[in-house]
Structures are given as C-alpha cells and as structure tokens.
Structure 1
Amino acid sequence: MNQLTKKRNILLLLFSLLAFCNLQAQTKQQVYVELLGASTTVGVHYDSRFGKNSHWGFRAGLAFTSTDNQDFMECDPLKTRGVTLPVGINYLIGKNKHFAELGLGVSFGSYQCTLRKEEKLFKKNLTGSFLFLDMGYRYQPAKGVSVRLGLNPGLALNYKETTKENDNTITRSAVIYPYVSIGLTL
C-alpha cells in the first residue's frame, strides 16, 4: 500500500469514527440530495452537528458521476461514469435558519472512462480522490425542507501531468463546481 493510500484510509477512518461516536448526541440532522458540487453529478448525503449546540458538523455521502464532457478529466474521455464517497467536516456561521457554510472534505472515487485511441474505443478504470471546500449558503429550519447553494473548489490529491496507458489514477488537477442541495432536516 503506497503512502497516499495509507493517508487516505486514515483520513476516511477518522471521519467515520467522528461520525459514529457522535451520532447519539446530534441535533439538526439532515439528509439531502446534492446536484454537482462534491457529488460531481448527483449524490445523497447525511449531515449532522457534533453536539447539541455545535456549529461544527460533518457530512458523508454516496454520489454517482455521469458525464459525456471530455473536459471532465484531462485524458479526454468520451464518457465517464463512476461512484464517489464524499466525506467532510463543516462549520455553520449564523443562527436560526440562515447560515454561511464553510467546509473541507475528501471525495474518493472509482470511475470507468470510455476513451478513443487510433479510432478504437476502449474502457479504462480510474480511481482518484479530491480535496474539496464547501463555501455557500444554507437554509436549515429546525424541521422541514432545507436548501444549500454554493461553490465547491476541488483539487486532485494524486494529480499526474501525463496519462500512461497502464496508469489508473485521475489526471485532472483543479475544478470549481457550483452546488445546489435540497433535503429534509430531521
């Protein structure tokens, strides 16, 4: 196991332990569907505070990526499909129902890309992880419908300048995705 994989697994374990240890004392839990952002296409996420009156919280989700945009990765795939696991911590600034949201997270992904080489199509499996920031607005009442809007700047953690045929890592370096989320505060 290489050094980057070890660090990635330790970070994922840390986020998981924090989430598990604090589930019983949570308030303002929410489940939401996120379009774009850290989900890149669409994802379902769980978000909660670390304590009853804490502005600190976490999110964890399962997302699906599907795009025909050749700019999605620098290897110019004709089609990209994948599954990602975005996890992160966040801080809410504000009170009542209106908050500024700042967060930091990592999205782990496994993708299948359709590429063209010398007029032949072939599929290539890629894996990658992206560091992302949550910067946005959150409307979150005590119970009911919640909304999030903002930007997710992202940076690949294992960026490579060139792609070799036997290299299975993501080759895009940095992106900025807008996001919109609609969910329920539980």
Structure 2
Amino acid sequence: MKRTPLIFLLSLMSLSIFAQHRKFGYVELGGTSVFTSLNFDMRFNKENPDGLGFRAGAGSSFGAFDIDKIYTVPVGINYVIGKGKSGFIVGGNSVFAINGEPKGRKSENFKSVIFSADVGYRYTPTGNGFGFQATYTPLFNTVDGTMPFWIGVGIGYSWN
C-alpha cells in the first residue's frame, strides 16, 4: 500500500504534457471517495475552463467510524457547464475500493467497485488560484445495493 501514494504522485507529475489544459488539484471531504481523497481534474479542451474533462484520485477512510481502513481510487468523466469562474458540474465515476488494516480483528479481503454521480457547483478562478466545489454524490453500492445520500466538498488549486 505504501507504493500507491508514490504511483499517484508520479502519475500527477507525468501530466505535465498537458501544459495548456485547465487543471484543478483538490482535497475532497466526502464525495466520490466516501471519506477523503486527493484528486486531479483536467479539461480536455485547451481553450475553455469548462466542457468535458476527467478526474482521478486516491483516498482513504483512515479507519474513521470504527471500520477497517479502506483505500479508494476514484476515476471519472465530468462536464463543467458555465463560462468564467463559476460552473455547474455533472459527471460519473467508478470508485475502486479495497480494505487495508483491520480494526482489532481478522479481516477478509474486501474489493469493490462503487459507481457514483457528481452534480454540483465548481468555482475556479480564470487565472491561477484557489478554487472549490460542492457536489451531491449519490453512491451506487455494488455490495448491498444501497444508494445513500452523500455530499462532497473540495478545496484546491487551479492552474493552466
């Protein structure tokens, strides 16, 4: 598991080939990774801060709520509608989840894919600077079929 953050960091550094595309790196509480995650988001269109883009990240439950530590990798496609600094964001994600360290008991190997949607608001400055987003994120749980009400709040830095 110690390789995961290193692989994620190297992946982010390799994205320098997309130098002119709008990027947004942010920490999200709640949201697609359920507890907390570090994410990278980029628009496919060089000229606009809106339009089609993707996100990828790495997250963890950190053993919160007295459950096993769970590691997550959210990957998704999204679309930002709006001009300038503010936009409406809508997207779909796949979240790959595995268990980490058990809380005082023998743990079974747990692997799951959770599907989620993002519907919300994103603010990113027209130049470089701090931005944020707030999303309603329904999670489509493949383990037991539940769909809990879930929200996410992210804060980070946006640049070209």
Match of 2:52 in 1: 56
1:141 shift after superposition: 0.9
Match of 2:36 in 1: 42
Gap change, CA 1:115 and 1:63, over 3 Å in 2:
closer
1:101 shift after superposition: 0.5
Q: Deviations over 1:67-91 (max 9, x none)?
A: 454xxxxxxxx52211111000101
Match of 2:131 in 1: 146
Superposition pairs for residues 125-164 of structure 1, below 5 Å? 125-142=109-126, 143-157=128-142, 159=143
- The answer to whether the 8 A contact 2:63-2:70 is kept is no
TM-score under structure 2 normalisation?
Answer: 0.78
Backbone CA RMSD of aligned residues: 2.6
Residues 1:109 and 2:97 aligned together: yes
Match of 1:175 in 2: 148
Gap change, CA 1:66 and 1:174, over 3 Å in 2:
farther
Helix, strand or coil: the match of 1:176? coil
TM-score under structure 1 normalisation?
Answer: 0.68
Residues 1:32 and 2:26 aligned together: yes
1:115 shift after superposition: 7.8
Q: Percent identity?
A: 30
Q: What runs of 5+ residues in structure 2 fail to find an aligned partner?
A: 1-10
1:65 shift after superposition: 1.5
Which of these residues, 43, 65, 71, is aligned with residue 61 of structure 2?
65
Distance 1:96 1:134 in 2: 20
1:124 shift after superposition: 2.4
1:177 shift after superposition: 1.6
1:111 shift after superposition: 1.2
- The answer to whether the 8 A contact 2:81-2:89 is kept is yes
Superposition pairs for residues 86-125 of structure 1, below 5 Å? 86-112=74-100, 114=102, 121-125=105-109
Aligned AA (1:31)? G
1:125 shift after superposition: 2.5
Structure number with larger C-alpha Rg: 1
Aligned AA (1:184)? Y
Gap change, CA 1:113 and 1:183, over 3 Å in 2:
same
Residue correspondences, number: 144
Aligned AA (2:23)? Q
Helix, strand or coil: the match of 2:47? coil
Helix, strand or coil: the match of 2:106? strand
1:132 shift after superposition: 0.5
